[in-house]
Chains A and B, each alone.
Chain A
Amino acid sequence: MERLIVIGNGMAGVACVEQILKYSPRFEISIFGEETELNYNRILLSSVLAGEKTADEIILNDAGWYERNRIDLRLGVRIVDVDSANRTVTGDDGSVTSFDKLILATGSSPLIPPIEGIGKAGVYVFRNLEDTRALLDRARAGARAVVIGGGLLGLEAARGLQVQGCDVTVVHLMETLMERQLDATGGAFLKSKIESLGPRVLLGRNTRAILGAEHAEGVEFHDGTRLEADFVVIAAGIRPNVELGRRAGLLMRRGIVVNDYLETSHPEIFAVGECVEHNGVCYGLVAPLLEQGKVLAATITGNRGPKYQGSVPAAKLKIMGVDVFSAGDFSEAPGNDAVRFEDGAIGVYKKLILRDNRLAGVILVGDTADSHRYMDWLTSKNDLTALRRKLLFPDPAEDTELDVAQMPDAKVVCGCHGVSKGTIIQAILERGLSTLSQLKECTRASTGCGSCTELCQQLLQAVAPAAQSEAKRALCKCFSLSEAQLREIVRTERLRTVQDVLDIYGNGSGCEICKPALSYMLDMVWCGGHDEDRSARFINDRVHANIQKDGSFSVVPRIRGGVTSPDELRRIADVAEKYKVRMVKITGSQRIDLLGVQKGDLPKIWAELGMPSGQAYTKGVRMVKTCVGSEFCRFGVQDSTSTGIELERRLENLFTPHKLKMGVVGCPRNCAEATVKDIGLIGQEGSWQVVVGGAAGKKVRKADLLVTVETAEEALQAAALFFQYYRENADYLERTYDFVERLGIARVRRETVYAPMAVQQGLRERLRKSKARSRDAWLEGDEPRHATQFVQIEPLENVLA
């Protein structure tokens, strides 16, 4: 095994080691860290200063990680010399360690401007965890702080101190805040935003001296003016730590010079991170460092090939309530077109720079919601000619999920850690992730600056089967768990009665919301093999009829596909007369409704009808409405009636999260309105369209196309797949139109008709089981579940009224 020494236990060095570990283990690795901390997320120091995070929360690699990967970690040892000829490094503890390969990841140090008295007590820098702790110690309510430097770090330090109660003034040498990232207008917008939060901003001030005898008492500027202060923070920039490169005799300029493979001028010495200079650029932002780490890992493990070709510099200010994003080149040089929007009243400023119709730079202040899109344009260098009229205000995406879905897998979601969409999706699927915290732990995505959190959430929601559960509220006041969580519990704990679920995970008594929901859930999860508790069902499902406003019931026999016979009609007429049914009504669903029936008459009516229950009273399969179809209709191209009858036969008697209505039409004229049904089959010449999620009730929604198939049998199969998928994944009382909208039709397709064969077979098998256990509810007329199921109690004795 070769000995690899990494000098620097910061983000760049350790991220590179993480990448190296992904290749075969060929190194014995030692990491030297000057700080005594484990590798932490330096970007989040400002969050620690602002009290939003604790020091522990920004640790990236805990001690266990080093142990598991057998990394020899030497903390608190500063390497003072590198002998490139003998391949040894010397520590400030006197230790000499030899190496076969060496990585310099020494990072950078605060740039200390030439200011008189800068060594006085009460002058701080803000670069590492120790600095942050010192500042937190010093910061107290009312203390006057001067922050020298109005760049990213200075502003974040100022905001942190201000949150800690200090009276903060930011002093900046230039006339524009964050002048490396913003133009004058952007800087002015930022200034007023910062000042609205509390800190004062002084621009164009060159600090000459720190005042005070031994302890800082203020600052004096070159123009002679002074500013009193209790302490001073220097945040004027960083400079690469290159001393060791020099000692090793490497080619140096501002930083340690590396090529596209992160190789230095010495064959066994490599460098990565803020200490390097690539193509004349030293990077001080996290994303480039991580990109470099990946390339170096390949190079050093003998997989030399991937090249680092520089990064588009992008910066985001991490101050709550101050949105600033900047990337690329924003200079208005000749040949650059500027596209601007500014509204001082709402503090929004946007500027795009285009060169040859391609995005070259972007500045966003006050609204950074579109930063991902612009970053995309910047890196892809797409020709934007077609979008020129709406660059700043693009058409809203049809829905946000679509945006995520349209991103290519290779697209980097988390720029901080270089995690691509593909990696995230793979992690979600392979490890069964369902929460953001799991995703963070697994992939590191969104643990950096956090600007991709929203995207990660969207990906989770689009891909993770259980992702909704986190966001979704509890089922009802009886539970602190969501339906999705309860489904999982019911499955894993093998609960089969509503009362058990209520007793163990709820409040014991339940309510009219959760009891029917749990009844459905148990029936669905156990494919009808649960212990049915009728007391938890709504009255309609106890007596298999629809309760009306006067307490009477309605009776709707099943007339599959809306196709009946003279014999059936005769029986219906006889029953209606015999039981003095108050109204006989043709329903909107091609059924016949007998209204005003007394509960006690229900079993007799069912028996005399000799027809099965039409389930018109329940959250279940209601009906299939059909048009005449090719058998008679001169326009019909498919046999809609027999297909509709078969569809109804296959799915009838099953419960669904909400009522489920279907339609089958024999030609695109759509006479039975299949496009506004929960499931619709639309016959065309030589094919069938299967559409789902339609509605024509409280909401009108055109169904989405699930799939187009050739035969009626294939259409029936696709409908069945969707049917069972809806049963298993929708929340109770969620109609298909909400369900399909919530998930997006692309996901529904992916998980039904385009799902792997095993998944489809699972859905079919569970549907088959449920169907096998289901029965016509009206059979209970002959064999009631309970002696008094359909009767009023006759008192054993009576008294005079």
Chain B
Amino acid sequence: MNERNGTGGKQWVRITECANIPVREGRATTVGGHSIAVFNLGQRFAAIENRCPHRGGPLAEGIVCGATVVCPLHAWKIDLETGVAASASPDAPCVQTYRTRIEGGILEIEIPVAGAPPADTRETPRAHRDRPIRWVQRKFPTARPEMREQR
């Protein structure tokens, strides 16, 4: 059952049996137009945008080290909690993160619902809530229109 959580147009979506994602590995999935990488961290699951902010590498294929995934293309390290790329810069680029939960052995991800403009529904990484998300426009001028098209 889809369940509206009522806050900002998001909904929990049933993805797969937990056993389908091996411990310390990631898998890619596509839900509601979002390309998402889900990771089994042993005690819990994490879900982030499956696209490295560096060159668009498939983060689901990365090696998981603690609560970080290492992009398979050029070894960028993305924090699975915040979506932020490890970088010396305070302005480090980041990927979108999604909340996860387990209901009856099924992994669920909270997805922004259709219709709402992406900028409003996007769950901004905690570390970046205070900042506008203009990095999206600035750093990836070509990538974003594609995403819009999909939606």
Contact = CB atoms under 8 A, between A and B. Distances in A.
Contacts of B63: 511-512, 515-516, 535-539
A792 interface: yes
Contacts of B73: 547, 549
A772 interface: no
Contact of A793 (B29, B113, B150, B151): B29
A536 B38 CA distance: 17
Interface string B117-144: 0000000000000000000000000000
B145 interface: no
B72 A539 contact: yes
Contacts of A793: 15-16, 20-21, 27-29, 38
A511 B62 CA distance: 11
Contact of A538 (B11, B29, B65, B72): B72
B58 A551 contact: yes
Interface in A137-189: none
A792 B22 contact: no
A535 B24 contact: yes
A669 B28 CA distance: 50
Contact of A786 (B16, B22, B29): B22
Nearest to A498: B24
Interface residues of A, number: 32
A787 B20 contact: yes
A534 B66 contact: no
Interface string A757-801: 000000000000000000000000000001110001111111111
Contact of A800 (B15, B68, B75, B114): B114
Contacts of B2: 797, 799
B102 interface: no
A510 interface: yes
A51 interface: no
By DSSP majority rule, is chain A's interface helix, strand, loop, or mixed? loop
B14 interface: yes
Interface string B43-63: 000000000000111100111
A509 B22 contact: no
A537 B56 CA distance: 21
A793 B72 CA distance: 19
Contact of A796 (B67, B106, B114): B106
B33 interface: yes
Contacts of B23: 535
Contacts of A549: 55, 73
Contacts of B68: 509
B65 A801 contact: no
B16 A795 contact: yes
B92 interface: no
A788 B58 contact: no
Nearest to B38: A793
A792 B114 contact: no
Contacts of B151: 801
A508 interface: yes
A798 B31 CA distance: 6
Interface string A519-563: 000000000000001111111001000010111000000000000
Given A538-B72, A547-B72, A799 B65 contact: no
A343 B73 CA distance: 54
Contacts of A509: 65-68
A610 B79 CA distance: 41
Given A509-B66, A534-B25, A547-B72, A801 B16 contact: no
A516 B64 CA distance: 12
A512 B65 contact: yes
Contacts of A794: 16, 29
Given A800-B114, A801-B150, A795 B29 contact: yes
Contacts of B58: 547, 551
A787 B67 CA distance: 24
B15 A799 contact: no
A319 to B, nearest CB: 44
A542 B62 CA distance: 11
A465 to B, nearest CB: 31
Contact of A799 (B16, B62, B70, B114): B114
Contacts of A542: 25, 61
Contact of A535 (B13, B16, B25): B25
Contact of B64 (A535, A795, A799, A801): A535
Contacts of A510: 65-66
B8 interface: no
Contact of A547 (B14, B28, B29, B61): B61
A796 B16 contact: yes
A538 B71 CA distance: 10
A287 B33 CA distance: 82
B24 to A, nearest CB: 4
A549 B66 CA distance: 25
A800 B13 CA distance: 11
A196 B11 CA distance: 77
Contacts of B87: none
A801 B33 contact: yes
A510 B75 CA distance: 14
A551 B57 contact: yes
A548 to B, nearest CB: 9
Contacts of A551: 56-58, 61
Nearest to B25: A535
Contacts of B32: 798-801
Given A549-B73, A788-B21, A795-B13, 13 more contacts: A509-B66, A512-B65, A533-B24, A535-B25, A536-B24, A539-B63, A547-B58, A551-B57, A793-B29, A795-B14, A795-B31, A796-B106, A799-B13
16 contacts: A510-B66, A512-B62, A534-B25, A535-B22, A537-B63, A538-B63, A551-B61, A787-B20, A792-B27, A792-B30, A793-B20, A797-B2, A797-B13, A798-B13, A798-B32, A799-B31
Closest 5 CB pairs of A and B: A801-B33, A509-B66, A535-B24, A793-B29, A799-B32
